C-alpha cells in the first residue's frame, strides 16, 4: 500500500478498504494527462517564484522521464499505489529525491483529478469527432454515387414512396453532422482549467491560474473553485452526445440488418465484416451491425450511471465522483470502436441497386403520385385519394402494379386517366419531381451534397490546436 497521506492515522488501512478505495487500476489510463498537468503546474509555480528554476527543471525532467519510461514499458504501473497521482509523485521522489516532494505545492488531488479527467475527455472528444468526420465523408461518397439509385422509402416499415439511396444515406449524414455539432458545443463549454482550485477553496499561494490555463490550451481558468472540483457536467454532456451517436448508429445498423436479410437483399455485407455459424454452413451473419446495436446499451448505461452518481452529492468533492471514470472510459472506447467498425462495414458493403429499384417498383410506392396526377387533371385531392384507393384494391385483386394496368382497366376506375399517366407515375418521375429542399429529387440532392462538401471542408476541429 502506498498512499500520499497517513500522518494523522494510528492504524493501517484495512486491505479490503484499501482495495475498495483505490483507483489505480483504471485512472492509470490518464497517466500522460496527469504528468502534463503536473508539468504545467510546476512551470507556473516557478514563474511565480514559489519554486526556484532549478527545482522546476529537476521536477520537469523527472516527470518527463517517468512518462517516457511508462511509454516504453520500462516502468510498469502497479496497484501498489492508491491512484495514478500517488504513483507519479512517489516515482518522482524516488528519482529526484526531496525536491520531488514540492510538486504538490498549492494543489490538491481534487483539482488535479478534475484537470486530468478534463484533459483526457477533451482529447477523446476530438478523437470521436475525427471518427465521425471519416464516417461523414464515407457517407458523402456513397451519396454522390447513388443520386439516381432508386429504392422504396418506408413508414411503419411499409413501403411508402420512392426515394433514392443518396437521400436515405443523407438522412444519416444530417444526424452525424448534428452529433459533431454537439461535440463542438461541449468542447467549447468545457474548455476551462480547474487547476488552482485546490481542495475546494483555492489556495493561499499566489498562483497564476491564467498562465496554467494557457499552458494547457484552455480558454481560461474556471471561475469558482468549489464548482471546479465538483463539476462533471462536461462528462455528462459527452456521455449524452455519445449516447445519441450510438442511437444513430444503432438505427442505421438495424436498417442494414434488415436490408441484408434474405428477404430484402438490398445490401450484401462484405465477408470481412460478417461471421458464420458453427452449425449452419449456409449462414453469413451481420454480427458487427448487431454488436454495434447491442453496445448502445452500455453507453446509455454510463450516462444513466453518472447522472445518478452526481445527483445527490453535496458540494464540493466527494469520493462518489471517482465513479465518473470506469464507465465513461468504457463508453468512450466503445463508441470509438463502433464508429471505426461501422465505417469500415459500410465502405465495403455492396448495395444491390437492381433489387432496391425492383422493390421500389412494386408495393404501390407511386400511389401518391397517381393521386397527384388526378389532382393535376382537376380532381379534388380527397376524391383522388379515394379513386386511387379503389385502384390499389383492384390491382391487388389482379396481382398487378398500377403501371401494369392497361389504360382501359384504368378508365374503368376513372375516365380522367389518359395514357400520360404512365409517365406521371414512373419511378424516375416520382423521384425527380420531388424537388423541395431536403427532398430526393436529383437536382436538389446535388445542391445538398455540395453544401455537405463545404461543411466538411470548414471544420471546427482543425481550428483547435491540441
Ligand atoms: N481517485 C480520486 C478520484 O478519482 C482522486 C481524488 C482523490 N481526492 C480525495 N480527496 N480523496 O476522484
pLDDT tens, residue by residue, 214-259: 999 999 999 999 999 999 999 999 999 999 999 999 999 999 999 9
Which protein residue's CA is at the shortest distance from atom 2 of ligand 1? Answer: 322
The DSSP result for 356-412, as a single string, is HHHHHHSSSTTHHHHHHHHHHTT--HHHHHHHHHHHHHHHHHHT--GGGS-HHHHHH
For the domain 110-145+166-204+217-351, what is the CATH code?
1.20.200.10
Within the chain, which residue ranges are assigned CATH 1.10.40.30?
Answer: 359-457
Within the chain, which residue ranges are assigned CATH 1.20.200.10?
Answer: 110-145+166-204+217-351
CA 417 to chain centre: 51
Q: Using the atom order of ligand 1, give the atom closest to the CA of residue 325.
A: 4
Residues 131, 133, 134: CA angle, nearest 5 degrees: 65
Residues 281, 282, 285: CA angle, nearest 5 degrees: 100
CA 299 – CA 327 distance, rounded (Å): 8
Instruction: Supply the pLDDT for residue 300.
Output: 98
Going from the C-alpha of 199 to that of each of 79, 129, 148, 228, the distances in angstroms are 24, 33, 62, 10
Average of per-residue pLDDT values in the chain: 95
Instruction: Supply the pLDDT for residue 207.
Output: 98
User: For residue range 339-381, what is the model confidence (pLDDT) as tens digits?
Assistant: 999 999 999 999 999 999 999 998 899 999 999 999 999 999 9
Instruction: Supply the pLDDT for residue 351.
Output: 97
Q: Using the atom order of ligand 1, give the atom closest to the CA of residue 317.
A: 10
**Residue 275: pLDDT band by 50, 70, 90 thresholds?**
confident
Q: Give yes or no for residue 143 CB within 6 A of ligand 1.
A: no
Q: Give yes or no for residue 83 CB within 6 A of ligand 1.
A: yes
Please give the average per-residue pLDDT across 417-442, as a whole number.
Answer: 94
What distance in angstroms lies between residue 186's CA and the mean position of ligand 1's atoms? 24
Q: Please indicate whether residue 156 is annotated as part of the active site.
A: yes
User: For residue range 111-140, what is the model confidence (pLDDT) as tens digits?
Assistant: 999 999 999 999 999 999 999 999 999 999
Check 156, 278, 406, 462 and give the catalytic one: 156
Check 261, 277, 450, 453 and give the catalytic one: 277
pTM reported for the whole predicted model: 0.94
CATH fit for domain 15-105, picks 2.40.160.20, 3.90.440.10, 1.10.150.80, 1.10.275.10: 1.10.275.10
For the domain 359-457, what is the CATH code?
1.10.40.30
Within the chain, which residue ranges are assigned CATH 1.10.275.10?
Answer: 15-105
User: For residue range 58-73, what is the model confidence (pLDDT) as tens digits?
Assistant: 999 999 999 999 999 9
| 434 cis-preceded (ω within 30 degrees of 0) | no
Q: Give yes or no for residue 322 CB within 6 A of ligand 1.
A: yes
Amino acid at each position: 500500500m502506498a498512499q500520499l497521506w497517513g500522518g494523522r492515522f494510528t492504524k493501517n488501512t484495512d486491505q479490503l478498504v484499501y482495495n475498495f478505495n483505490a483507483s489505480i487500476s483504471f485512472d492509470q489510463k490518464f497517466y500522460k494527462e496527469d504528468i502534463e498537468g503536473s508539468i504545467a503546474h510546476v512551470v507556473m509555480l516557478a514563474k511565480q517564484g514559489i519554486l526556484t528554476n532549478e527545482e522546476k527543471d529537476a521536477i520537469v525532467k523527472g516527470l518527463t522521464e517517468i512518462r517516457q519510461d511508462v511509454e516504453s514499458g520500462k516502468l510498469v504501473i502497479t496497484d501498489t499505489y492508491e491512484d495514478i497521482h500517488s504513483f507519479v509523485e512517489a516515482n518522482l521522489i524516488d528519482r529526484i529525491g526531496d525536491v520531488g516532494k514540492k510538486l504538490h505545492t498549492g494543489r490538491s488531488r481534487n483539482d488535479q483529478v478534475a484537470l486530468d479527467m478534463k484533459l483526457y475527455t477533451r482529447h477523446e472528444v476530438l478523437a470521436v469527432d475525427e471518427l465521425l468526420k471519416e464516417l461523414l465523408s464515407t457517407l458523402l461518397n456513397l451519396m454522390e454515387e447513388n443520386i439516381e439509385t432508386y429504392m422504396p422509402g418506408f413508414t411503419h416499415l411499409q413501403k411508402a414512396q420512392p426515394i433514392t439511396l443518396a437521400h436515405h444515406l443523407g438522412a444519416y449524414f444530417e444526424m452525424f453532422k448534428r452529433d459533431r455539432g454537439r461535440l463542438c458545443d461541449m468542447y467549447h463549454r468545457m474548455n476551462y482549467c480547474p487547476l488552482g482550485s485546490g481542495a475546494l477553496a483555492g489556495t493561499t499561494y499566489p498562483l497564476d491560474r491564467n498562465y496554467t490555463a494557457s499552458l494547457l490550451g484552455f480558454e481560461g481558468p474556471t471561475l469558482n473553485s468549489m464548482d471546479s472540483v465538483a463539476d462533471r457536467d462536461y462528462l455528462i454532456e459527452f456521455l449524452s452526445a455519445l449516447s445519441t451517436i450510438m442511437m444513430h448508429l444503432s438505427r442505421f445498423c438495424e436498417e442494414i440488418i434488415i436490408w441484408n436479410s434474405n428477404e430484402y437483399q438490398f445490401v450484401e455485407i462484405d465477408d470481412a465484416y460478417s461471421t458464420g455459424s458453427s452449425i449452419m454452413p449456409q449462414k453469413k451473419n451481420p454480427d458487427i451491425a448487431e454488436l454495434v446495436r447491442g453496445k448502445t446499451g452500455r453507453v446509455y448505461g454510463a450516462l444513466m450511471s453518472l447522472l445518478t452518481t452526481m445527483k445527490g452529492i453535496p458540494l464540493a468533492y466527494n469520493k462518489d465522483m471517482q465513479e465518473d471514470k470506469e464507465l465513461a472510459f468504457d463508453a468512450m472506447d466503445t463508441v470509438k470502436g463502433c464508429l471505426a467498425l461501422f465505417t469500415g462495414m459500410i465502405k465495403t458493403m455492396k448495395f444491390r441497386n437492381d433489387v432496391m429499384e425492383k422493390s421500389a417498383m412494386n408495393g404501390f410506392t407511386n400511389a401518391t403520385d397517381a393521386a397527384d396526377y388526378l389532382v393535376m387533371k382537376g380532381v379534388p385531392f380527397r376524391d383522388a385519394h379515394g379513386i386511387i384507393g379503389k385502384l390499389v384494391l383492384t390491382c391487388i385483386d389482379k396481382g398487378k402494379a398500377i403501371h401494369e394496368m392497361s389504360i382501359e382497366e384504368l378508365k374503368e376506375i376513372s375516365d380522367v386517366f389518359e395514357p400520360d399517366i404512365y409517365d406521371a407515375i414512373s419511378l424516375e418521375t416520382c423521384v425527380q419531381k420531388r424537388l423541395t429542399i431536403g427532398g430526393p429529387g436529383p437536382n436538389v440532392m446535388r445542391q445538398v451534397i455540395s453544401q455537405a462538401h463545404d461543411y466538411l471542408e470548414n471544420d471546427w476541429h482543425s481550428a483547435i490546436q491540441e
